[in-house]
Amino acid sequence: MFSFTEEQKLLIQSVTALAKEHLAPRAEELDETESFNTVAFKKMAELGLLGITASEKYGGANLGAFETTLVMEKLAEACASTTLSYLAHSILCVNNIHANASEAQKQKYLPKLISGEWLGGMAMTEPEAGSDALGLLTKAEKKGAKYILNGAKTYITNGPGGDIFVVYAKTGPSRKDVSTFIVESKFPGFKVSKKLKKMGMRASPTAELAFIDCEVPVENLIGKENDSISHMMKNLNLERITISGISLGITSACLNYCSRFVQERHQFGKPLSHFQMVQERVAEMATHLDAGRALCYTAAQRFDSGDTDSTLGAKCKLFTAQMGTHAGIEAIQLLGGAGYMKEYPVERYMRDAKLMEIGAGTNEIMRIIIAKSLLNLKEK
């Protein structure tokens, strides 16, 4: 098993306490109402979590993928959907800006994002470009001191209430002619076109975004034109490692709830925990969880040490996403009829877990990434 430094232990304790007080008590309510946990985000800001990978210079915690994965896991044990919104803010937006933006852009945007004054997100997926991340249709055309963006993005986490979005758009004819922009929701031509209703992760607001002659100042271009692929892929790798922490948290929640339930619930004159088929399910869930942790923690540490292997995140996400969904289904089965009722949390765990097999790259795309690396297949 992994050993933690004293600082990491303190971080785990602090995040666990925050999750217990501000996430867990409202998880069922916010799932039902599809509402955002504003209070919890403010508390995250107070702990420095909203800029977990950013420099202290901007108010961040200056921590790595390993600590971020631990935080995701502990938060997701209490409320996976609030944790998903946290990931979109802290990794897809804040980390992206911190890693790739100019000093002026960092000074302008990071302090307010890290303090929780602004909510951030990232806009990549489009109605016709999901798994094909380079098949973007949203275009940005430079006109004088502004870029004019036209297009649509969909399934955007934090879309309904977000203030700042990292947006990818085409700026040339080639598939790889992709540029990155910091877009404020107040910019002319930006519109939240539709809030989306979902099966799970319902406390993580999601929307379709429209860019209709959206005016973006040239100084909001991150880096150079047509030069976004490398940092896009690096941030995706980090996202897939850290988002795997959410699957770890869901699986841990399933295991903890089921372990208590089968000891308390009696059938045929004895606790469910005395039946070998029940023991088998619980034992396998625990084993899968430890295996998932070993994979994710190792990948996170390698990422922090500078390893650029693109399969790090793909392997983490593929294994833990399947693990989380399986744990949710098994938890429902262990509870029987109770597991199918909204009175118990395991049906929510299962609904939340399923997104992990789709978002941030589907299971199928993860397998392709891993196979291409193993077989030394180059994309033409």
SS3 170: strand
How far from 153 is each of 60, 101, 157, 355, CA to CA, in Å?
Answer: 29, 22, 11, 18
Question: Which residues fall within 8 angstroms of residue 265, CB to CB, at 6 or more apart?
Answer: 271, 272, 335
Which tokens sit at 297? 């923690």
Active site residue 225: no
Query: d(Cα 159, Cα 27) in Å, to the nearest integer?
Result: 20
Catalytic residue (choose from 239, 330, 347, 357) = 239
Contacts 24+ apart (CB under 8 A), 10-13: 11/63, 11/67, 11/70, 11/71, 12/70, 12/74
Single-letter amino acid code for the residue at 222: I
Start-to-end CA distance of the chain, whole Å, equals 41
Q: Tell the residue number behind the tokens 């399910």, with chain if given.
A: 281
Report the catalytic residues: 239
